[in-house]
Structure 1
Amino acid sequence: MATNFFQTTPDCEIVTTRVFNFPKALLFEAWSNPRHLKNWWGPEGFTNTFHEFDFREGGKWDFTMHGPEKGNYNNLVEFLKIEEPNLIAWKRHSQPLFNVQATFEEISAEEARLTFRMIFETATECEKLKKFVVDKNEENFDRLQRELQIMVLT
């Protein structure tokens, strides 16, 4: 399993973990292939327009999330570390600023654990978003679950 790429303290991070009943390689594919990622990224009801997706260390992911009722949210991130199929780490260059580390751990041939860490500069910044983000991350993982089911069928 990949080690932590970012150094932090528990009060500066939001961690969401889920076990998926799919192989680790498929889970990583859902994160690393924009054809799949655009279908599930974001809370329930959001859609995405990807402007650039350069999946390599130093590459950029530039996209707009479209809210279900209103609002377009521009996002720009830079991939800092990719260890296929174990780790993806990036830095956000758009507000709110934080880093992300996603780790993929094989439990069995057909089961994998995803740990998604959002890492903030300060505990205050983390606390501001925590009340909104925790439930939204679960919605995001629900959407990922549905995309994985589609991927298996195609």
Structure 2
Amino acid sequence: MTTSSGAESDHTSADREIVISRAIGAPRELVFEAFTQVRHLARWWGPEGFTTTTRSFEFRVGGAWDFVMHGPDGTDYQEWITWREIVPPERIALLHGESRDDPNAFESVLAFESAGDDTRIVMRTVFPTKELRDEAVEKYRAIEGGEQTLNNLAAYVAELTRNDTGRSETTPKEAES
């Protein structure tokens, strides 16, 4: 689901943003952990059919995640995330591009909101220009990809909660293959 929340939205960026949210049936601390530890990210990150190879990962403000997303068609996508703000277990702000100095990198803020025993994750992404946002939506299917990524996160976290000790050898993404 994409939304533009008028109350929080900066009107100067409304035409450059994508907002995706999803309820996840797990406590906020677990959802936050699954998003912030490379051992978890490698098992669910990306849209359906994608896999991820991490080159380096340092989860701290100013740290980076250097990784490659492998598309189902065999295409490799070089990716780089720099962590800008980390407020456990509430919020993560990041800069995401193809490399450290990518002039077309976009900013994302992820909010992890408690909803009883569940968590609502809201991912707000702002692109440098409307054209880059439109290209991400049309060429790279960013809205569908973001929704699929959050669906993969929800399925992975559900698997973790079913297998308290993490005994499962099959991730939700692998089970679909």
> What is the root-mean-square deviation in Å for CA atoms of aligned residues?
1.8
**3-state SS of the aligned residue for 2:115?**
strand
Per the alignment, residue 16 of structure 1 pairs with 20
Answer yes or no: is 1:101 the counterpart of 2:105. Answer: no
Describe the superposition over 1:97-131 as per-residue Cα deviations: whole angstroms up to 9, x where unpaired: 211111101111x1111001111111222122123
Describe the superposition over 1:45-75 as per-residue Cα deviations: whole angstroms up to 9, x where unpaired: 1111111110000001000111112111111
Offset of residue 8 of structure 1: 5.7
Answer yes or no: is 1:133 the counterpart of 2:142. Answer: yes
TM-score normalised according to structure 1 size: 0.90
Per the alignment, residue 46 of structure 1 pairs with 50
Q: Distance in 2 between matches of 1:140 and 1:77?
A: 16
TM-score normalised according to structure 2 size: 0.78
Structure 1, unmatched stretches of 5+, are none
Aligned residues: 149
Answer yes or no: is 1:149 the counterpart of 2:158. Answer: yes
Alpha-carbon spacing, 1:92–1:7, altered in 2? closer, same or farther (3 Å) = farther
Q: Distance in 2 between matches of 1:84 and 1:99?
A: 19
Contact 2:44 2:156 in 1 (8 A): yes
Contact 2:79 2:96 in 1 (8 A): yes
Per the alignment, residue 122 of structure 1 pairs with 129
Amino acid at match of 1:146: A
Q: Distance in 2 between matches of 1:52 and 1:65?
A: 13
Q: Distance in 2 between matches of 1:19 and 1:93?
A: 26
Q: Distance in 2 between matches of 1:113 and 1:93?
A: 25
Higher gyration radius (CA): 2
Per the alignment, residue 113 of structure 1 pairs with 120
Q: Distance in 2 between matches of 1:69 and 1:136?
A: 15
The structure with more strand, counted as a fraction of residues: 1
Offset of residue 93 of structure 1: 3.9
Q: Distance in 2 between matches of 1:8 and 1:60?
A: 28
With a CA cutoff of 8 Å and minimum separation of 6, indicate the structure with the bigger relative contact order.
1
